Amino acid sequence: MPEYKAPLRDMHFVMDEVFNFAAGYEAYGLTDASPDLVSAVLEEASKFAGNVLAPLNRTGDEEGCHIENGEVTTPAGFKGAYQQYVDNGWSSMTGPTEYGGQGLPASLGLVVNEMVASANYSFSMYPGLSHGCAAAIRAHGTQEQKDLYLAKLTPGYWTGTMCLTEPHCGTDLGLIKTRALPQEDGSYKITGTKIFISCGEHDLAENIVHLVLAKLPDAPAGTKSISLFIVPKFLPDASGEKGERNSLVCGSLEHKMGIKASATCVMNFDDATGFLIGEVNKGLNCMFTMMNHARLGTGMQGLCHGEASYQSAVAYAKDRLQMRALSGPAFPDKPADPIIVHPDVRRMLLTMKSFNEGNRALAYYTSQLLDKAHYSKDAEERADAEDQLAFLTPICKAFMTETGLEVTILGQQVFGGHGYIREWGQEQQVRDCRIAGIYEGTNGIQALDLLGRKVLMSQGKLLRAFTKQVHKFCQANEGHETLGEYANKLSQLNAQWGEQVQKIAMRSMQNREEVGAASMDFLMYSGYVTLAFFWLKMAVGAQEKLSAGTSEEDFYKAKLATQEFYFKRLLPRAQAHLAALEAGADTLMQMTAEQF
């Protein structure tokens, strides 16, 4: 029943009109990414997503993955779709040219991935994990390791995983028990059990490259003793092809609430051969290369499910006839009016629309920072991009997934009772989306990362890297004829943001718990203000087009209406988060554990 159509017009609006991706590509010498090529890539990706992947989304959920004797089978159609994904070059798009990649910018990869993942999130995880694995090998591997593995991972012949979590530890990786015994030939024997391993075993590719966190026998306690190992399912032979089977096996598949077509594996390593990547005891640093990549991707999950849910909800709201408009029949010739006439249905749709499009702007802006940090010729610009990336990544991960979940829940609500029935697809969006707030570091961990590690540890520097953009923009628009009032509102919030950080910093000098007590509400406050900035940016752009005259009046007027809705109906939540965090740590800490 549900159908996904890539919102190309919206995507182009953000890429071309709001952030001018093309100018960046030119400035950074990414001349392959010409406007024509970008358009063609988007067009092709939208076809692949809509025609090949979307039809497998619900069947994949129904069927799930199967395991027999340690071999995992993905749902019908997934293998063929993955083959097309590889054959059509989607895997290699942003990979390094020396390993068969096309060297296209990360920002374009993110846009393509939005389509793939909106159409079928479970499918998107297989290549998604591979990209993270390849990124870690590229950043930390030896030349030999890069030559060996990137040649296979880049085109997608092999896939990759991250093996971090164990039954007794997820967030607290210092507690891991997996052991790595050094061998005389320089390799290691890896023994231990890893759980929640996405795409740990499957039938899509001929080999799987596991990146495994383990400890050496003499390693000190805690996180500073973790090393990272490449542990392939099949050891590469002398020619770099799939060779001998390694002694690791998928013990079982997890039974999950959603993303059922993605194989979530318990992986047992039993004296498996592994190869150290990066330095001994520095494994966590290497893993962070993957995790930062994965966190923006996980944030996108909120947008992807939200967008798919919105498309279905709007179609349903225009089609479903139920009751009359309060102000009188809108379609007197029909037995009832379509429910899109009802203000409360519109409240739900507009909430969905404003989070989705705001989140898209946030994510695309962040992806542009990835380009800038990587390719800019100006060292200061690169450093500034890194600062903003560090600041925005936890916001992307947590705010986009919190709001994405709200969006999918509303999208289900629009359908009434049908929203609860599998055949209509909306409940799957909720179930699939739910994991995004949990994995890749729970949203609570993202909030601590944002407030503790990023904002406070940098003494506000990383916050200012972003708020100065906001400040400049507000100054430039405070006299705007129609949008000036919003620029002033945003300006106040922007100032309040910095002041709050000062206050939290003061309180946390007395009591370290204040940071954890403020973190989640601070993250949500930050997200609401960040989206306000991007919404106003979009509105200013839309107003320019309208003032200049355009054949797309509906499109731009909808942007203005959605921006107004966001400022007036959603942004007030920022103050509720502020009030909550100002309540301080005592409201959380005064109860003893027994009193719960």
Region 215-234 residues binding its own copies, contact defined as CB under 8 A: none
* Shortest CB 73 distance to its own copies, Å: 20
Give CA separation, 377 vs 95, 102, 216, 365, 473, in Å: 20, 21, 41, 19, 24
| Smaller CB separation from its own copies, 15 or 578 | 578
440 is a catalytic site residue = yes
* Shortest CB 244 distance to its own copies, Å: 32
Write out the binding residues for its own copies, residues 401-440 only, by CB under 8 A: 405, 409, 412-413, 416-417, 419-423, 427, 430-431, 434-435, 437-439
Q: Which of 380, 440, 478, 485 is catalytic?
A: 440
506: contact with its own copies by CB under 8 A: no
The stretch near its own copies (CB under 8 A) out of 141-149, 293-301, 494-502, 515-523 is 515-523
| Smaller CB separation from its own copies, 182 or 516 | 516
Residues 159, 104: Cα–Cα separation, whole Å: 20
| Smaller CB separation from its own copies, 162 or 465 | 162
Query: How, if at all, do strands 207-215 and 226-232 pair?
Result: antiparallel
Q: Which of 255, 333, 481, 551 binds its own copies (CB under 8 A)?
A: 255
Write out the binding residues for its own copies, residues 462-501 only, by CB under 8 A: none
The stretch near its own copies (CB under 8 A) out of 107-115, 118-126, 461-469, 508-516 is 508-516
| Smaller CB separation from its own copies, 546 or 580 | 580
Q: Which of 29, 512, 544, 547 binds its own copies (CB under 8 A)?
A: 512
* Shortest CB 150 distance to its own copies, Å: 29
What would the 3-class secondary structure string for 47-77 be?
Answer: HHHHHHHCHHHHHHHHHCCEEECCEEECCCC
Q: Tell me if 94 sits within 8 A of 106, measured CB to CB.
A: yes
Q: Tell me the DSSP string of 184-216.
A: TTS-EEEEEEEEEEETSS-SSSSEEEEEEEEE-
Q: Tell me the DSSP string of 500-539.
A: HHHHHHHHHHH-THHHHHHHHHHHHHHHHHHHHHHHHHHH
Contact map string, positions 560 to 579, toward its own copies, x by CB under 8 A: -xx-xx--xxx-xx-xx--x
447: contact with its own copies by CB under 8 A: yes
| Smaller CB separation from its own copies, 107 or 526 | 526
**8 is written with which tokens?**
């190309």
Burial class (CB in 10 A: 0-12, 13-18, 19+), 584: middle
444: contact with its own copies by CB under 8 A: yes
Q: Which of 12, 256, 282, 545 binds its own copies (CB under 8 A)?
A: 256
Q: Which amino acid is at 143?
A: Q
Q: Tell me if 90 sits within 8 A of 110, measured CB to CB.
A: no
Write out the binding residues for its own copies, residues 365-384 only, by CB under 8 A: none
Angle between the N-to-C axes of helices 553-565 and 513-548, in degrees from 0 to 180, rounded to the nearest 10? 150
Write out the binding residues for its own copies, residues 538-557 only, by CB under 8 A: 554-555, 557
| Smaller CB separation from its own copies, 62 or 203 | 62
* Shortest CB 139 distance to its own copies, Å: 26
Is the C-alpha dihedral spanning 79, 432, 1, 340 positive or negative? negative
The stretch near its own copies (CB under 8 A) out of 113-121, 129-137, 211-219, 514-522 is 514-522
* Shortest CB 237 distance to its own copies, Å: 35
Q: How many residues does the chain have?
A: 596
Residue (of 228, 236, 234) closest to 277 by Cα position: 228
Q: State in Å, rounded, how far the first CA of the chain is from the last one.
A: 45
443: contact with its own copies by CB under 8 A: yes
1: contact with its own copies by CB under 8 A: no
* Shortest CB 69 distance to its own copies, Å: 22
Write out the binding residues for its own copies, residues 167-206 only, by CB under 8 A: 168-172, 174-175, 195-196
Write out the binding residues for its own copies, residues 307-366 only, by CB under 8 A: 314, 317-318, 321-323, 325-327, 335-336, 338, 340-350, 353
* Shortest CB 303 distance to its own copies, Å: 18
* Shortest CB 4 distance to its own copies, Å: 16
**Residue 428 neighbours by CB under 8 Å, 6+ apart:** 57, 58, 61, 258, 422
Write out the binding residues for its own copies, residues 41-80 only, by CB under 8 A: none
| Smaller CB separation from its own copies, 126 or 424 | 424
Determine the size of the site formed for its own copies (CB under 8 A).
100
Give CA separation, 325 vs 307, 330, 331, in Å: 27, 6, 9
Query: How, if at all, do strands 226-232 and 264-277 pair?
Result: antiparallel
Query: How, if at all, do strands 234-236 and 207-215 pair?
Result: unpaired
* Shortest CB 574 distance to its own copies, Å: 8
**63 is written with which tokens?**
């069927």
Active-site residues: which are they?
A: 440
